[in-house]
Amino acid sequence: MRKQGNSRPEVCAYNILSTIRGEVAYERIKGVDGRLTDQPANMVTGEAETDAERQLEIFEPRIDVNRVEVTTDEHGDFEYDIQLSRKEGEK
Q: What angle do CA 39, 41, 42 make, to 5 degrees?
A: 120
CB-based contact 78:70 (threshold 8 Å): yes
Q: What is the mean pLDDT of each run of 10 residues along the chain (91 residues)?
A: 73 92 93 87 89 94 93 83 85 62
User: What's residue 82's pLDDT?
Assistant: 92
Show me where the domains of the chain are located. Answer: 9-86
**CATH code for the structural domain at 9-86:** 3.10.450.40
User: What's residue 64's pLDDT?
Assistant: 94
Which residues touch 71 (CB under 8 Å, ≥6 apart)?
Answer: 45, 78, 79, 81
User: What's residue 48's pLDDT?
Assistant: 93
User: What's residue 76's pLDDT?
Assistant: 74
User: What's residue 7's pLDDT?
Assistant: 84
